[in-house]
Amino acid sequence: MLALYCSHFLDDNKKLTPRRDVPSYPKYMLSQQTIDALRKPAFGLWLWESNEMLSCLEHMYHDLDLVKDFNMNPITLKRWLLCIHDNYRMNPFHNFRHCFCVTQMMYSMICLCSLQETFTQVDILILMTAAVCHDLDHPGYNNMYQINARTELAVRYNDISPLENHHCAVAFQIFSQPDCNIFSTFDPEAFKQIRQGIITLILATDMARHGEILDSFKHKVDSFDFTDEEHVTCLKMVLIKCCDISNEVRPMEVAEPWADCLLEEYFMQSDREKAEGLPVAPFMDREKVTKPTAQIGFIKFVLIPMFETVMKLFPQIEDVMVQPLRESRDRYEELKQIDDAMNEKKKSENLTMGKKK
């Protein structure tokens, strides 16, 4: 089983070969309503088909002037996006729709926070491209599983962020294909800078590094200097982290299905861990976790503190990003109270039935 599992990684070279015979996907013409909605964190994500999401991603690169400013070949951009699509797996959560979700949130933050006024266009290119690539070929089993199961990925990367290192490797394998290299107009030194920037951001999405990265940003935020490269890099790392775990920023009807998808993926992993005799994290165990308990802790102790720290630099995110998080926390706390009351009622009924016997 382990050999079969490992064989999935990078053996299917067809995925990494661009579709030369299909230089464009069936084009979905974006309406002005869609174009306007794309710039907002509340954008709905569930009704869009792959070709529509690809068209939206293409629009973002054009709208941010990345295609024009860096003289990208528009056909290469299309081929690259198609290849990206083909290298996301059909996992319950870590799939192409999640890639689109994270990139759209990044795009909305760039627009909302007017980042093009403070960042260079190269920074914007790095932010967007890292978002697109950040979970390439995710197998649906997290780093702890990789390390505990001693998978080929964990061995290859010495147990250090094996998944994130793999996402980077797949991304740059795709860029190594001339027909998918959206960076072909950059000289070697500029490409080196972009490559390092993208790798730094994708590696920052490993949640094992969450405390370290957020603490570093907290020490900088009160005297933040947009001319300081270290400050800007730290902010970019926090921005991709925000976007990666931003589902609860969205309206309830958009956010809640993502929570269901994530729990499905968690349960898939914990069931496998039990079958293989590996350690199981309580927050992934279907016998120990509920949706409200899972979400409350994550929103209270991870999401709100991080977004509130970013809010110190960009107060404009409070109404459209931080406030929805607070409302989501309150809603899940109410649901937990209802669950607790029902469980108490069941316990009481069981005790009563036991006495009658």
Find out whether 244 is annotated in a ligand binding site: yes
pLDDT of residue 96: 98
pLDDT of residue 353: 67
Find out whether 187 is annotated in a ligand binding site: no
Contacts of 102 (CB under 8 A, 6+ apart): 131, 134, 135, 240, 243, 244, 246
CA distances from 286 to 215, 219, 264, 289, 299 (A): 32, 38, 9, 6, 20
pLDDT of residue 16: 73
Exactly one of 8, 59, 85, 94 is catalytic; name it.
94
* pLDDT grade for 346, boundaries at 50, 70 and 90: confident
pLDDT of residue 339: 86
pLDDT of residue 1: 33
Model confidence over 76-127: pLDDT tens digits?
999 999 999 999 999 999 999 999 999 999 999 999 999 999 999 999 999 9
Find out whether 134 is annotated in a ligand binding site: yes
Average pLDDT over residues 149-171: 98
Q: What is the 3-state secondary structure (H, E, C) of 26-94?
A: CCCCCCHHHHHHHCCCCCCCCCCCHHHHHHHHHHHHHHCCHHHHCCCCHHHHHHHHHHHHHCCCCCCCC
The pLDDT > 90 percentage for the chain reads: 86
pLDDT of residue 350: 73
Model confidence over 49-70: pLDDT tens digits?
999 999 999 999 999 999 999 9
Average pLDDT over residues 42-53: 94
Please give the Cα distance from 268 to 144 (Å, whole number). Answer: 14
- Pull the structure tokens for residue 132: 């697109």
pLDDT of residue 345: 78
**Does the pLDDT value for residue 347 go beyond 80?**
no
Model confidence over 201-231: pLDDT tens digits?
999 999 999 999 999 999 999 999 999 999 9
pLDDT of residue 233: 98
Find out whether 350 is annotated in a ligand binding site: no
Average pLDDT over residues 14-24: 59
**Does the pLDDT value for residue 5 go beyond 50?**
no
SS3 category, 24: coil
> Would residue 62 show up in a list of annotated catalytic residues for this protein?
no
Residue with tokens 């976790």: 289
| Average model confidence (pLDDT) across the chain | 92
Find out whether 95 is annotated in a ligand binding site: yes
258 in Cβ contact with 93 (< 8 Å)? yes
Comparison of pLDDT for 111 and 23, the residue scoring more:
111
Average pLDDT over residues 271-292: 96
Contacts of 112 (CB under 8 A, 6+ apart): 39, 40, 41, 314, 316, 317, 320, 321
**Does the pLDDT value for residue 11 go beyond 90?**
no
Find out whether 271 is annotated in a ligand binding site: no
* pLDDT grade for 187, boundaries at 50, 70 and 90: very high
